[in-house]
């Protein structure tokens, strides 16, 4: 072939290849833009993860995302770069029900405050105008912390359009009733607003681009399925995933709750239908009986979302290809997000209140500059909340040359709070606890707390503590209390007498928080304890104990949480030496208490054995050194009694069934966590006790006389429990093999 021909053919080939490349490029640019709209639906929204997983497995990759409520959480994480496998892992690893709560484990509460800060179901700040009612049952503290950590990889983006996938989150302006679309700002605040279920979560205040203040709640109110937002963002085709519940059928409207729910849903369902009409293809995952609160079934919900998507894929692919989108689509380049740690170069506190800044500077500590994991930062934020100084804490990250600067802003609690709690116990009946507490009342960092238990057996107490914000801390504790509780006398198994115990105490003590988990208190106290025939009597009783004493208490508490701990241990050692006082039965029959000694110790340890099975070890013991035995100066075995230190739990025994001079017990148990925060336990206890009419410790050698501990006790217990947002719910069935007796007890609410 002549060289001229070869050159011409070569040139034509080059032109053909260039035209082919241009045609492919033009075709890719002309391909319709695919938008993914994800609805809200609480726990059911976790099905979106299964949908995204199967879409990518089929080679379908959305170009942009919009989401409402849980759809905004899943959609937002997907938009900033999380892969489906990462989303699936997040859904399975997070204990969602724990995050949808504002209560913190006891391990995050300063050891100095644990006795005074826990056990309340409701809290109301008190301002100059009176009690301030909350705008929601939850402030959303934990979920805000979680969102700030999960979305930290988006810290460099100034607009949601800068994410790997452009994104929109939808909320509702509760003032105007209009939908509000987030396009920029800190994405964690956008997500928090989008999921702020009215009356459950407090609304979120934001300032829009025009400088107007907005008060926002969950987007499900007006746009639970944000198809129109995907279109506004640039979608030519909208693939919608709707996990919202349809209106109930007639046969399902059989109670007041279902009718109220149906009434509330009318408006949102109407809006939802309008959005469904805008979608080009809709996936309605079949989620069976799962509801918006089925967070403990996250894995199952994700799988159902995947299954529904696989079933819909043939028709979806057909429709996409008929619209000009070839499947499989070209997979986007994705670098898997690493969001487990950050290098922090510094920390900056931005608070309107200078006092809040000073408290943050004292309480906040991380190894900065340095690499900080998400768990370390979350624990530090939890400790700030546990201090009870702050009602809301926000944090963000500002990129720097060497890493990131941590910026923390905090809103302090009002100085005065009113707190309430209600409980029921089959032995002690129903009770209400009313608390009034004030901070910085007498000295900066001080806490003044007044409790009143309103029940058949009332109690009132006043506590004042002031301590340094250091480790070890040093502080002072003043307290006074009046406690009225039921008293019982048994002869063997027979109840022979009942009375009303009146117990008045006052204390002045010094204490030290020796570390995060150790506490030592020592001081002086005075008490008056009497048995009475009636609740209120003006007639002097014939059985009175007056005492002034020195006491010391050492506590080590490593529980991960106060109620149904999953791990950790608690040890209490108490020593009390009388300095004076007397016990009398009649004016002519009294006994000097100047040398009385009481020593008690308890230890309870919880260890994870396998899976969700934990082993529990409980040890207890104590003795009373007295000159003469009296029902008022004994240790009581049966059921424990809140706020009374000499009552100890023995399975199979009733309240005060055994009044002893000394005892030792050991209990072993296995506990299974069935589901999330539901527990089944089986326990066995064995011990020995002594009843002495005189001194239990031999004076000649100062040692306990083991021969006197000659009575055996043992018992079995089956426990069913649940840790609810209102406190523990627990049922005990107990058996005493010595006499074949059975005891049953039901308790709901915190112990006070």
Query: Quick check: 22 pLDDT over 60?
Result: no
Strand partners, 662: 623, 690
Query: Quick check: 595 pLDDT over 90?
Result: no
Give mean pLDDT, residues 366-384. Answer: 90
- Tell me if 518 sits within 8 A of 472, measured CB to CB: no
With cut-offs at 50, 70 and 90, classify the pLDDT of residue 293. Answer: confident
d(CA 321, CA 341): 42
Q: What residue has token string 């082919």? A: 20
Query: Of 99-103, 119-123, 182-186, 531-535, where does mean pLDDT reach its minimum?
Result: 531-535
Query: Quick check: 348 pLDDT over 80?
Result: yes
Does residue 263 sit in helix, strand or coil? helix
Give mean pLDDT, residues 699-721. Answer: 75
Give me the helix-helix angle, 70-80 and 47-57, nearest 10°: 40
With cut-offs at 50, 70 and 90, classify the pLDDT of residue 12. Answer: very low
Its sign, for the CA torsion 48, 49, 54, 56, is positive
User: How deeply is 261 buried, as exposed, middle or buried, from its count of CB atoms within 10 A (0-12, 13-18, 19+)?
Assistant: middle
User: In this predicted structure, what is the pLDDT of residue 326?
Assistant: 92
User: In this predicted structure, what is the pLDDT of residue 279?
Assistant: 95
With cut-offs at 50, 70 and 90, classify the pLDDT of residue 18. Answer: very low
d(CA 158, CA 151): 13
Give mean pLDDT, residues 527-535. Answer: 79
Give mean pLDDT, residues 636-656. Answer: 92
User: In this predicted structure, what is the pLDDT of residue 591?
Assistant: 67
- Tell me if 195 sits within 8 A of 73, measured CB to CB: yes
With cut-offs at 50, 70 and 90, classify the pLDDT of residue 6. Answer: very low
User: In this predicted structure, what is the pLDDT of residue 68?
Assistant: 96
Query: Of 26-35, 299-308, 325-334, 736-745, where does mean pLDDT reach its minimum?
Result: 26-35
User: In this predicted structure, what is the pLDDT of residue 265?
Assistant: 62
Give mean pLDDT, residues 709-716. Answer: 88
Give mean pLDDT, residues 256-270. Answer: 63
Q: What residue has token string 């009146």? A: 502
d(CA 51, CA 204): 29
Give 463-471 contacts, CB < 8 A, sequence gap 24+.
463/116, 465/112, 465/113, 465/116, 465/511, 466/442, 467/112, 467/511, 467/513, 469/359, 469/362, 469/363, 469/445, 471/513, 471/515, 471/516
How do the residues of the chain divide into helix, strand and coil, expressed in percent and rounded to 5?
A: 25, 40, 35
Give mean pLDDT, residues 602-615. Answer: 94
**This prediction's pTM:** 0.82
DSSP per-residue letters across 108-123: GS-TTTHHHH-S-SEE
Give mean pLDDT, residues 147-166. Answer: 91
Of the segments 157-161, 494-498, 542-546, which one has the largest average pLDDT value?
157-161
With cut-offs at 50, 70 and 90, classify the pLDDT of residue 19. Answer: very low
With cut-offs at 50, 70 and 90, classify the pLDDT of residue 306. Answer: very high
The secondary structure of residue 567, as a DSSP letter, is S
Give mean pLDDT, residues 480-498. Answer: 87
Give mean pLDDT, residues 394-423. Answer: 90
Query: Quick check: 37 pLDDT over 60?
Result: yes
With cut-offs at 50, 70 and 90, classify the pLDDT of residue 203. Answer: very high
């Amino acid at each position: 072939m002549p060289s001229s021909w070869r050159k011409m053919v070569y040139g034509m080939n080059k032109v053909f290849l260039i035209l082919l490349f241009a045609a492919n490029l033009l075709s890719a640019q002309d391909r319709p833009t695919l938008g993914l709209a994800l609805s809200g639906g609480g726990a059911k929204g976790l099905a979106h993860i299964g949908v995204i997983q199967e879409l990518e497995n089929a080679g379908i990759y959305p170009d942009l995302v919009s989401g409402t409520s849980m759809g905004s959480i899943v959609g937002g994480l997907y938009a900033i770069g999380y892969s489906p496998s990462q989303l699936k892992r997040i859904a399975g690893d997070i204990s969602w029900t724990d995050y949808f709560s504002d209560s913190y484990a006891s391990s995050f509460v300063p050891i100095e405050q644990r006795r005074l800060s826990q056990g309340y179901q409701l809290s109301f700040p008190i301002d100059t105008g009176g009690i301030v009612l909350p705008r929601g049952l939850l402030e959303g503290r934990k979920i805000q912390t979680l969102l700030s950590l999960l979305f930290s990889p988006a810290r460099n983006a100034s607009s949601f359009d800068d994410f790997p996938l452009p994104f929109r989150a939808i909320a509702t302006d509760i003032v105007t009733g209009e939908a509000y679309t987030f396009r920029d700002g800190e994405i964690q605040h956008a997500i928090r607003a989008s999921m702020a279920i009215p009356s459950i979560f407090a609304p979120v205040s934001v300032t829009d681009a025009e400088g107007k203040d907005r008060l926002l709640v969950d987007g499900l109110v007006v746009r639970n399925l944000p198809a129109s937002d995907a279109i506004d963002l640039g979608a030519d085709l909208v693939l919608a995933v709707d996990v919202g519940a349809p209106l109930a059928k007639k046969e399902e409207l059989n109670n007041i709750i279902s009718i109220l729910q149906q009434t509330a849903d009318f408006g949102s369902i109407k809006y939802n239908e309008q959005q469904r009409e805008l979608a080009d293809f809709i996936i309605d995952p079949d989620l069976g009986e799962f509801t918006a609160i089925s967070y403990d079934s996250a894995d199952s919900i994700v799988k159902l979302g995947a299954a529904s998507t696989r079933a819909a894929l043939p028709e979806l692919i057909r429709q996409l290809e008929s619209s000009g989108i070839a499947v499989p689509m070209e997979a986007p380049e994705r670098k898997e997000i690493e969001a487990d740690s950050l290098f922090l170069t510094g920390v900056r506190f931005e608070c309107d209140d200078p006092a809040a800044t000073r408290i943050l500077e004292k309480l906040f500590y991380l190894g900065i500059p340095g690499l900080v994991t998400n768990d370390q930062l979350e624990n530090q934020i939890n400790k700030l909340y546990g201090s009870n100084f702050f009602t809301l804490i926000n944090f963000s990250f500002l990129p720097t040359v060497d890493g990131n600067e941590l910026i923390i802003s905090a809103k302090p609690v009002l100085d005065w709070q009113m707190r309430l709690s209600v409980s029921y116990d089959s032995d002690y009946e129903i009770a209400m606890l009313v608390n009034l507490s004030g901070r910085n009342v007498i000295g900066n960092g001080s806490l003044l707390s007044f409790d009143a238990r309103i029940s058949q057996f009332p109690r009132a107490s006043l506590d004042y503590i002031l301590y340094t914000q250091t480790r070890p801390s040093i502080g002072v504790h003043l307290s006074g209390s009046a406690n009225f509780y039921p008293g019982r006398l048994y002869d063997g198994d027979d109840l022979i007498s009942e009375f009303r115990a009146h117990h008045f105490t006052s204390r002045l003590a010094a204490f030290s928080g020796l570390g995060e988990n150790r506490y030592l208190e020592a001081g002086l106290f005075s008490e008056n304890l009497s048995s009475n025939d009636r609740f209120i009597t003006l007639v002097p009783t014939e059985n009175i104990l007056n005492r002034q004493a020195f006491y010391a208490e050492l506590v080590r508490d490593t529980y991960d949480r106060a109620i149904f701990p999953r791990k950790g241990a608690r040890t209490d050692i108490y020593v009390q030496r009388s300095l004076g006082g007397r016990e009398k039965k009649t004016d002519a029959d009294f006994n000097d208490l100047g040398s009385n000694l009481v020593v008690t110790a308890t230890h309870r340890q919880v260890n994870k054995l396998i899976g969700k099975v934990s082993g529990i070890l409980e040890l207890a013991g104590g003795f009373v050194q007295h000159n003469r035995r009296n029902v008022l100066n004994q240790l009581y075995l049966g059921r424990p009694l809140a706020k009374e230190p000499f009552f100890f739990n023995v399975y199979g025994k009733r309240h005060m069934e055994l009044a002893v001079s000394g005892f030792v017990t050991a209990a072993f148990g296995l506990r299974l966590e069935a589901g999330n925060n539901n527990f089944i336990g089986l326990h066995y206890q064995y011990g020995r006790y002594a009843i002495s009419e005189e001194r239990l410790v031999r004076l000649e050698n100062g040692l306990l006389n083991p021969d006197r501990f000659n009575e055996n006790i043992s018992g079995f217990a089956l426990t069913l429990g649940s840790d609810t947002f209102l406190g523990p719910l627990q049922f005990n069935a107990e058996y005493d093999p010595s006499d074949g007796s059975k005891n049953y007890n039901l308790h709901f609410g915190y112990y006070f």
